[in-house]
Amino acid sequence: MTKVYHRPDERGYFGRFGGAFIPEMLHRNVAELRERYLDITSDPGFRREFDALLREYVGRPTPLYLAERLSEVVGARIWLKREDLCHTGAHKINNTVGQVLLAQRLGRRRIIAETGAGQHGVATATVCALKGLECVVYMGEKDIARQAPNVARMRMLGAQVVPATSGSRTLKDATNEAIRDWINHPEDTHYIIGSVVGPHPYPDMVARFQSVISLEVRAQLLTATGSELPTHVVACVGGGSNAAGAFYHFLEEPSVRIVAVEAAGMGVESGQSAATTRLGKPGILHGSMSLLMQTEDGQVVEPHSISAGLDYPGIGPMHAHLFESGRGDFLSATDEEALAAAFELSRLEGIIPALETAHALAVLPRMGLKPSDQVVLCLSGRGDKDLATYMQAMESGMDTQKTDIP
């Protein structure tokens, strides 16, 4: 195994994963994006507007915070990249700012998006409100029922939230419905995919917009420690956008260990899991070849995770390539481990993390870290949206008062 990560080729293949497996009805829009995204996003005017919005509206750079009490418990230096402090409470808005500016330059007035937990939907609705664009968000009927506060936020921001009633009525189906909307409105609409999934150029484009995370980390670490490079970068992976951004500027640094954490749900072998690299096989979903949880017959399997943001049967093609090439280490955390880690971080550092992020936190004690290790963990989102789940855990008598907290 070479353990070398290859940037995507011109057809969007990361190794053997990626590509654009789309019906002809999407061809013109996807081809236009493919032909123009690099030119538009490298234009100085675009960069100026993007950087200014990230700075003044989103609140970047986000802090890189040395979590001392957590470090003591784990036995290594743990640096938290505080994406939870972005406007709207998660890293998702880095991408929506970028794609809305891109959509404006493509002359699109109508924006559509899919959302699972609602974070990407809220981020999209937010930037559409800022720019005065029409916004339609597809959300699984089941997710609408269990994420009421985010549905209300999107509506307050002026977005139309459309329930996806097909299939399993969760994120996978919301994505199907958004793609079908785009097929039916090819002229005026831009589709903002929220993760590093979908047909080329989406995986690469979204990773580039999120790469601001690792760009900042390098500069911040240099200031704080005298070295730009940590020993490890850790992030949770559903589709994988925060991980893509956190890994991006370290992929060609062989001394940096890349650690991706998937949701094991009730356990990898339980039949109630979302650990795609453990359970998936190569397959095509939402326009790209990647690893995919599926039956023997090639029908897509409904995953399970306590965290709606990780509840996806696939994984971005760049992550499939990181996995297959051996460049990335893929670990997983169960629902229960993630909950425990969320409570632990809250008590140790006064930071209530999103359930997604809690999966990344949960593996720290299992990584075999040394006291000299400098670990950057992408704290992708804040936990307000998960309070109902956290309250249930407390009411069910879960041991939230861990005894080994110093």
Phi-psi region of 59 (alpha: psi -120 to 50; beta: other; left: phi over 0): left
- Choose which of 21, 42, 155, 252 interacts with another protein (CB under 8 A): 21
**Residue 271 interacting with another protein (CB under 8 A):** no
**Using an 8 Å Cβ cutoff, are 96 and 123 in contact?**
yes
Q: Residue 27: which H helix or E strand, with range? A: helix 27-42
- Choose which of 1, 2, 23, 226 interacts with another protein (CB under 8 A): 23
Nearest CB to another protein, comparing residues 110 and 131: 110
- Choose which of 297, 395, 399, 404 interacts with another protein (CB under 8 A): 297
Nearest CB to another protein, comparing residues 40 and 183: 183
CB atoms within 10 A of CB 51: 13
**SS3 of residue 188 by DSSP:** coil
How far out from the chain centre does Cα 347 lie?
A: 25
**Residue 279 interacting with another protein (CB under 8 A):** no
Set 71, 81, 83, 114: catalytic member:
114
Residues 6+ apart with CB under 8 A from 45: none
**Residue 281 interacting with another protein (CB under 8 A):** yes
> What is the C-alpha to C-alpha distance for residues 381 and 88, in angstroms, rounded to an integer?
9
- Choose which of 117, 300, 322, 331 interacts with another protein (CB under 8 A): 300
**Using an 8 Å Cβ cutoff, are 164 and 157 in contact?**
no
Q: Is 76 exposed, middle or buried (0-12, 13-18, 19+ CB in 10 A)?
A: buried
Is-catalytic flag, 114? Answer: yes
DSSP codes joined into one string, 247-259: HGGGTT-TTSEEE
**Residue 326 interacting with another protein (CB under 8 A):** no
Set 81, 92, 142, 385: catalytic member:
92
DSSP codes joined into one string, 347-392: HHHS--B-HHHHHHHHTGGGS---TT-EEEEEE-BBSGGGHHHHHH
**Residue 198 interacting with another protein (CB under 8 A):** no
**Residue 282 interacting with another protein (CB under 8 A):** yes
By CB under 8 A, the residues from 175 to 194 that bind another protein are 176, 179-180, 183-187
- Choose which of 294, 332, 357, 389 interacts with another protein (CB under 8 A): 294
> What is the C-alpha to C-alpha distance for residues 167 and 302, in angstroms, rounded to an integer?
9
**Residue 167 interacting with another protein (CB under 8 A):** yes
DSSP code for 317:
H
**Residue 174 interacting with another protein (CB under 8 A):** no
**Residue 255 interacting with another protein (CB under 8 A):** no
Tokens (6 digits) for 231: 């020993």
Nearest CB to another protein, comparing residues 143 and 335: 143
Nearest CB to another protein, comparing residues 201 and 381: 201
- Choose which of 44, 132, 226, 299 interacts with another protein (CB under 8 A): 299
Is-catalytic flag, 32? Answer: no
> What is the C-alpha to C-alpha distance for residues 234 and 176, in angstroms, rounded to an integer?
30
> What is the C-alpha to C-alpha distance for residues 334 and 336, in angstroms, rounded to an integer?
5
Is-catalytic flag, 370? Answer: no
**Residue 20 interacting with another protein (CB under 8 A):** yes
Nearest CB to another protein, comparing residues 159 and 285: 285
- Site residues, another protein (CB under 8 A): 11, 19-25, 27-28, 166-167, 172, 176, 179-180, 183-187, 281-287, 292, 294, 296-300
Catalytic residues: 92, 114, 380
